[in-house]
A and B are shown apart, each in its own frame.
Chain A
Amino acid sequence: MRTQPEAEPILACHDVSGGYALDAEPLREVLKGISFLVRAGDCYSITGPSGSGKSALLRLLNRFEDPIRGEIRFRGAPVQSYDPLELRRRIALVLQQPVMFHGTVRENLLRRPGGEQLSEAALVQALEEVGLDRAFLDRNAMEVSGGEKQRISIARSLLGEPDIILLDEPTSALDARSLHLVADLIGQLNRVRGLTVIIVTHQPEMIHRLGGRVLFLDKGHIIRETDAEEAARILEEAQ
């Protein structure tokens, strides 16, 4: 269910500059004057060439970095006014490279901040939400496939019951089949669970499957904001 258009934005960037382009050396500030609004339940894709500041933008939203200028507001209040640890549970970032820790999938999911305890049922539910069955709980986390690792890392973020999930090119290292699985899963989280999704991707296929709004970034500026269908067409023509 889409929230009504007049609803208060859940996340708002006002004229934001800063952020690091991590794939460029030496480290340099990349974003310039970024403004956009995200409403609860929205799905936003961010796309653009490498070094354009896509990941840098995500890293500002969960306060991995602070902007040099401008303001980011979450639920109407500046992100700096929240406890950063609480903010990162409300705005969960899933990194490009899914990291699994030594041990079983269960041990990975149970590694929670603040000694938070989770029931077996909660773990099973989180796995089911990403399309994996409970048998995975006892698998060695280091030995599951790349697509499964990415889904487990999404499940791990869902356990914190976030309001927004940020995904940084979650399917860039996956084969076509895994891409479809993960794309459909993200689409479901957005449409069925009503989770607000902001995803960085350069894959037209992903944008097409997710729908929603698309921001085009280039050299740190937003150069276009459009809907998914048009965006997928633009990207396919460019390829």
Chain B
Amino acid sequence: MKPIIDVGTLHLVLALFLVLIVLAISYRERLGLERELVIATGRTFLQLFAVGYFLVVLFAWDRWELVLVTLFLMLGAATWIAVGRLKHPLPGAHRIALVSLAAGSAITLAFVTEVVIGVDPWYDPRYLIPIGGMILGNAMTGASLAGERFQGELRARVDEVETLLALGFSGLEAVRDLYRSAIRAAMIPTINAMLAVGIVQLPGMMTGQILSGTSPLIAVKYQALVMLMITCAVALSSFLFLRLALRRYLTPAHQLKRSLIL
């Protein structure tokens, strides 16, 4: 097999020609995107190179403490972003997001790396960091989708919930339909991705592996594993997030906290 071609730094600068095309379109059609595009291009280079150098150091040091610290920092960022995506305030949202993302991701990550792949040593950053990142990123999107959908449903269907409460249904029973539709909303993009995978485009990770010289058959196995672990992480995190969030909206006396809804 031929060795992988490293993209030279000067050649990468050539890729900026692609951005020039976009700039030209934006300018000609007066899209007003020039400023954002320049900033976005700058950040793409900056962020990716920063991560690249960081990973080089992390791989070279090869210490389990550093791997865990890195995973915790990623968890913190995911928590922050997930809460930021909620459209309405939720008391204790950071703690709820932290617990649900941590539990949902840790269970999935441990199972995938230690049981399915059998990573050795257990903390090998080459596996834990990229796989952990994929799991956390998707869990974050899932939990915030579920939370946002639940908040929206609760606002739209508050009369329905109160009708059930007034009839003597428990708080959990009264919001069950809303809760189900929120988990479904979080799961559907992932399930759709599973249905479409490989048909139009190859997923990023699989493409990366193939480009870096891995046999497509190995890449396919990893990709299948990725799809399954993402689905599991999304389901676990959105489920936990909603179960914990529900307790903020309902009191032990099965009262709906209207102050959180109006």
Binding site for B on A (CB under 8 A): 20, 22, 25-27, 62-66, 80, 84-86, 88-89, 92-95, 97, 99, 101, 111-114, 153, 156-157, 160
Is A113's CB under 8 angstroms from B169's CB?
A: yes
Is A95's CB under 8 angstroms from B255's CB?
A: no
B157: nearest chain-A partner, CB-CB: A99
A94: nearest chain-B partner, CB-CB: B166
Is B253's CB under 8 angstroms from A66's CB?
A: yes
* CA–CA, A237 and B137, complex, Å: 65
B169: nearest chain-A partner, CB-CB: A113
B253: nearest chain-A partner, CB-CB: A84
What chain A residues lie within 8 Å of B26 (beta carbons)?
Answer: none
10 smallest A-B Cβ distances: which pairs?
Answer: A113-B168, A93-B166, A89-B168, A99-B163, A113-B169, A84-B253, A88-B168, A85-B168, A99-B159, A99-B160
With A25-B262, A99-B159 as contacts: A113 and B173 at CB distance below 8 Å: yes
Binding site for A on B (CB under 8 A): 159-160, 162-170, 173, 253-256, 258-259, 262
What chain A residues lie within 8 Å of B166 (beta carbons)?
Answer: 62, 64, 88, 92-95, 157
Tally the A-B contacts, defined by beta carbons under 8 Å: 65
Is B255's CB under 8 angstroms from A65's CB?
A: yes
* CA–CA, A101 and B159, complex, Å: 11
Is A84's CB under 8 angstroms from B259's CB?
A: no
Q: How far in angstroms is the closest Cβ of chain A from B180? A: 14
Is B159's CB under 8 angstroms from A95's CB?
A: yes
With A27-B258, A64-B255 as contacts: A113 and B162 at CB distance below 8 Å: no
* CA–CA, A112 and B170, complex, Å: 11
What chain B residues lie within 8 Å of A63 (beta carbons)?
Answer: 253, 255
Is B168's CB under 8 angstroms from A160's CB?
A: yes
Q: How far in angstroms is the closest Cβ of chain B from A127? A: 16
* 27 A-B residue pairings within 8 Å (CB atoms): A20-B259, A22-B262, A25-B262, A26-B262, A27-B258, A64-B256, A65-B255, A65-B258, A66-B253, A66-B255, A84-B253, A84-B255, A85-B169, A85-B170, A85-B254, A86-B168, A88-B165, A88-B168, A92-B166, A93-B166, A95-B162, A95-B163, A95-B166, A101-B160, A113-B167, A113-B170, A157-B166
Q: How far in angstroms is the closest Cβ of chain B from A19? A: 10
Q: How far in angstroms is the closest Cβ of chain B from A119? A: 18
B170: nearest chain-A partner, CB-CB: A85
Is A156's CB under 8 angstroms from B167's CB?
A: yes
* CA–CA, A88 and B256, complex, Å: 14
With A27-B262, A62-B166, A160-B168 as contacts: A84 and B254 at CB distance below 8 Å: yes
* CA–CA, A65 and B166, complex, Å: 12
* CA–CA, A111 and B255, complex, Å: 20
A26: nearest chain-B partner, CB-CB: B262
What chain B residues lie within 8 Å of A86 (beta carbons)?
Answer: 168
What chain A residues lie within 8 Å of B165 (beta carbons)?
Answer: 64, 88
* CA–CA, A25 and B261, complex, Å: 11
Question: Among the interface residues B163, B255, B256, which one has the most CB atoms of the partner chain A within 10 A?
Answer: B163
B160: nearest chain-A partner, CB-CB: A99
* CA–CA, A188 and B163, complex, Å: 23
A22: nearest chain-B partner, CB-CB: B258
* CA–CA, A95 and B168, complex, Å: 14
B167: nearest chain-A partner, CB-CB: A113
Is A97's CB under 8 angstroms from B168's CB?
A: no
What chain A residues lie within 8 Å of B255 (beta carbons)?
Answer: 63-66, 84
What chain B residues lie within 8 Å of A97 (beta carbons)?
Answer: 159
* CA–CA, A157 and B159, complex, Å: 15
Is A27's CB under 8 angstroms from B259's CB?
A: yes
* CA–CA, A25 and B262, complex, Å: 8
Is B167's CB under 8 angstroms from A64's CB?
A: no
What chain A residues lie within 8 Å of B173 (beta carbons)?
Answer: 113
New contact pairs (7) apart from A20-B258, A160-B168, CB-CB < 8 Å: A27-B262, A84-B255, A94-B166, A111-B167, A113-B169, A114-B168, A160-B167
B177: nearest chain-A partner, CB-CB: A101
